[in-house]
Amino acid sequence: MSQVTIEIGGRSFEVVCQEGEEQFLHAAAGMLDNEARKLDGEGARVTESRMLLMSGLLLADRTAAMEEKLGKVMANGTTETLDRARDAEAKLRVAEVDMATIQAQLAQARNDLDNAKEANDALVDRLRLERNAAVSGLRQVVEKVQNLANA
């Protein structure tokens, strides 16, 4: 525990706080001192306890107002975040449908390509057979011509 001296409204107070929290205590005391000095500056003759009470109430009022504003901002931010999340989810669903369509088209294109390759391979095989038959026929013609020329 640390013992700290703070000043509020021109009066000193000894207070105790946890180790390491001194700076926060001084900051809080500074805020309370500002409010107390405003009250004292207005020329009102108030007791020490009344001055501290009024200063504390003014700060509490500001804190409550800030918490209310923060709550509204958080609520609006949450609504906006939810709206964005819903939009993103809808876009994701559309993208998933588009992706499924593209995958189906790709599968069809692969199938068409496989079929075209099979047809091409069959045509190449048929042309080879025809070429071999033509070469064989030409050899037979050449042999007959050579036989006729030798006879």
Task: Tell me the per-residue pLDDT of 87-110, one tens digit each, with 9 for 90 and over.
Answer: 999 999 999 999 999 999 999 999
Task: Determine the average pLDDT of the residues in 116-145.
Answer: 94
pLDDT at 35 (0 to 100)? 85
Distance in angstroms (rounded) separating the CA atoms of residues 124 and 76: 70
Helix-then-strand count for the chain, H and E:
2, 2
Angle at 73 between CA 32 and CA 68, to 5 degrees: 40
Q: Identify the pLDDT of residue 78.
A: 79
Over residues 75-87, mean pLDDT: 83
Mean pLDDT (whole number) for 118-145? 94
Percent of the chain with pLDDT over 90: 52
Instruction: Give strand ranges (E) for 11-118.
Output: 11-17
Q: Per the structure block, which two tokens stand in for 32?
A: 């309370």
Residue holding tokens 């669903």?
Answer: 93
pLDDT band at 115 (very low <50, low <70, confident <90, very high): very high
Q: What is the pLDDT of residue 43?
A: 65
Q: For residue 22, what are the contacts with CB-CB under 8 A and spacing of at least 6?
A: 2, 4
| pLDDT at 128 > cutoff 90 | yes
pLDDT for the residue numbered 150: 86
Q: What percent of the chain has pLDDT over 70?
A: 98
- Give the pLDDT of residue 44: 64
Q: What is the pLDDT of residue 104?
A: 93
Average per-residue pLDDT for the chain = 89
Collapsing DSSP to helix, strand or coil, 47 comes out as: coil
Q: Is residue 42 pLDDT above 80, yes or no? A: no
Gap between the Cα atoms of 150 and 99, Å rounded:
75
